[in-house]
Chains A and B, each alone.
Chain A
Amino acid sequence: MRYLPYILKHLRRHWLRSLLTVLAMTFCIFVFCVLQTFLAAVQQNLEAGDSRRLVTRNAVSLVFNLPITYKERIAGVEGVERVAAQNWFGGARKAGDFKDFFPNLAVEAEPYLEMSPEYILTEDQKRAWLEDQSGCILGPATAERFGWKVGDRFQLESFIPPYRVGKPFEFTIRAIYATDEKRFPGTDKTVMFFHRKYLDEATAHRVGVGTYVTQIADPARAGTISREIDALFENSERQTHTETEQAFRASFIAMAGNLALLLNSIGLAVIFVILLVTANTMSMAVRERRTEMGVLKTLGFSSGKVMGLVLAEAGLLGALGGAIGIFFSTGMIQALPHLPFIGDAVRGIADFGLPASVALTGFSLALGIGLIAGLAPAVAAYRASITDLLRQV
């Protein structure tokens, strides 16, 4: 600590250079934290999938529906406990306007609730929903976002052509489901569920089923049952593809072109550039101060101590940048759901916030970059003899 004022004074010597280096580090940690927070949230959402649930979709694409008749045949497979049909409705308060978008699904309410314990309803709430065909249940985050409460009515209109019936669908909120972070971490708090029967009747039974959600008794048999289900429809016009709910969610990420790899690559590129920037700063700082280092050694500072001072200076640059980067990324992550376009993408992610582990990794990374950047000049200062250092003017 006694050397801290000395180190700070040196950083202030070329304050603009120090400031720019700290800002570069800030940007690096900011990007790292935001990207990693997004990835962590996506990962958590994936892990939230129940390993006892399978999802069956059209083998060609999610865009194409499956016949309603498939339900009974899937239910007949050994090991299947229950099946629920569901459709991604894609409704918005104004058709095509995704500014206020939140995920909404038409589901077969009874079996779906039975196999989805993460959406917690009281018996009264459940009954109220089941008895009202235009009723819906709503995630607490969405209810809070729009200031909606039980009994409120609102309209949604889908952008998907088969679900467009010339007028908006009208819904009454029958319950706001609760979640339990300990038992079911990562549960989405933004989804709205309504009766599939409502969608089916409003579209005059013209639409099929988007996906079938199947609950199985033994997660260890997920692979076998998936193959058995798909085998049922192997020779039919609409073949199926069945996988676990976790794999189904992961496929969305794969469709986005391996988002994790992309984001990590961006993060690594930024980190590498900042490492070079900081290394350049430290090399310049040490090169300019060779004589001073010679003086320090002459005064009795050991080579190790001089090396330590250089490393401490580099580490401090990193730590400062890291701390500021974390501060700004916290703000950005909080603001992200309120931004247009990007906000729509992250709003559905449960508990979107900077995890402590990401912040800690970001800070360690900043410190590490600083120390690595300072290592080469520090070793050079360590090795140089006093007479060589004093000879440079």
Chain B
Amino acid sequence: MGRNRPVPGERVFMAMVEVSQVRKIYQRDTQAITVLDGIDFQVPEGEFVALMGPSGSGKTTLLNLVAGIDRATSGMVRVAGQDLSTLSEGALARWRSHNVGFIFQFYNLIPVLTALENVELPLLLERLSKKQRRERALTALKIVGLSDRAQHYPRQLSGGQEQRVAIARAIVSDPKVLVADEPTGDLDAKSAEEILTLMETLNRDFRKTIVMVTHDPRAAQRAKRRLHLDKGVLQA
């Protein structure tokens, strides 16, 4: 796992995520619903940002745009130096596999695969031998403290453990950016603490840029910066 530590003389705070004048409009029959309206913000490399706001405020939609799994109606989304609107579907998929790790609220592990196989899944897209894939997946599991559960299936793990496996899957390709959609939303307080601590570690020790959606103020407190979204508009 690459530790993207800054070296002397290197510009530390380049914008890892740059969102400029982004609008997202959904068409429901004849009705146009504006979910995001003129969003502007930047996330420097190595920052940990929490996106907050009430339900329906557009948090997850904005996160999806940053993760490259949805496209803006207008405006620009640049992540890790790449303007996502210029990429084709195939190129965007390749870009995601190298640059973004996604952490879901409900973990979304594949139930028929073991923890190790789940973590290994993104590596199937890389030109790696089976042995290399196994080694990297085990390393990721070790980072999240679950190397002893490598052969366990999701149903044999607790919610917190499942989320840690999901985090291992998100970091196994060594992406620059981690996006997390309510990563503690389905967990008890203790497990949520553990997950947030792990995310802090990934941000601090591995210099991962993290954008996290949450409406839990305690979770948001662990981020370095908080952005508030309401009715599709960023609040000052």
Contacts and interface: CB of A to CB of B under 8 A. Distances in A.
Nearest to B126: A300
A373 B106 CA distance: 31
A374 B67 CA distance: 30
Contacts of A301: 93, 97, 125
Interface string A268-309: 000000000000000000000001101111111111110000
B69 A387 contact: yes
Interface string B103-133: 0101010111100010001101100001000
B205 interface: no
A292 B94 contact: no
A2 B124 contact: yes
Contacts of B110: 292, 295
A386 interface: yes
Contacts of A302: 89-90, 93-94
Interface residues of B, number: 28
Interface in B49-69: 64, 67, 69
A73 interface: no
Interface stretch (A9-17, A172-180, A181-189): A9-17
A294 B125 CA distance: 16
B96 A299 contact: yes
A356 B29 CA distance: 57
A304 B90 contact: yes
Interface in B153-185: 169, 173
Contacts of A265: none
A211 to B, nearest CB: 67
B169 A299 contact: yes
Given A3-B124, A300-B122, A300-B125, A295 B104 contact: yes
Interface in A291-334: 291-292, 294-305
Main secondary structure of the interface of A (DSSP, over half): helix
Contacts of A5: 117
A6 B117 CA distance: 9
A357 interface: no
A219 B113 CA distance: 69
Interface in B64-94: 64, 67, 69-70, 89-90, 93-94
B98 interface: yes
Interface string A361-393: 000000000000000000000000111001001
B94 A6 contact: no
B48 interface: no
Contacts of B67: 298
B94 A298 contact: no
B199 to A, nearest CB: 18
A303 B112 contact: no
Contacts of A9: 112-113, 117
Contacts of B117: 5-6, 9
Given A2-B124, A385-B70, A300 B98 contact: yes
A188 to B, nearest CB: 55
* A3, A9, A295, A297, most chain B CB atoms within 10 A: A295
A195 B124 CA distance: 76
Q: How large is the interface on A (under 10, 10 to 19, 20 to 34, 35 or more residues)?
A: 20 to 34
B165 to A, nearest CB: 13
A124 B66 CA distance: 94
Given A6-B113, A295-B110, A387-B70, A300 B97 contact: yes
Contact of A386 (B69, B111, B112): B69
Nearest to B122: A299
Contacts of B111: 13
A300 B93 contact: yes
Contact of B112 (A13, A291, A297, A390): A13
A292 B106 CA distance: 12
A290 to B, nearest CB: 11
Interface in A1-53: 2-3, 5-6, 9-10, 12-13
Contacts of A295: 104, 108, 110
B102 A299 contact: yes
Nearest to B172: A299
A296 B93 CA distance: 10
Nearest to B107: A295
Contact of B108 (A6, A10, A292, A305): A292
Contacts of B69: 297-298, 386-387, 390
Nearest to A389: B69
A354 to B, nearest CB: 36
Contacts of B121: 6, 296, 299
A10 B124 contact: no
A300 B96 CA distance: 5
Interface string B134-161: 0000000000000000000000000000
Nearest to B175: A300
Contact of A300 (B94, B104, B108, B130): B94
Contacts of A296: 121
B129 to A, nearest CB: 10
Contacts of A387: 64, 69-70
Q: Give 7 nearest A-B pairs by CB, closest first.
A: A300-B97, A386-B69, A302-B93, A9-B112, A300-B96, A299-B122, A295-B108
26 contacts: A2-B124, A5-B117, A10-B112, A13-B111, A291-B108, A292-B108, A292-B110, A294-B108, A296-B121, A298-B96, A299-B97, A299-B122, A300-B93, A300-B94, A300-B96, A300-B98, A300-B125, A300-B173, A301-B97, A301-B125, A303-B90, A303-B93, A304-B90, A387-B69, A390-B69, A390-B108
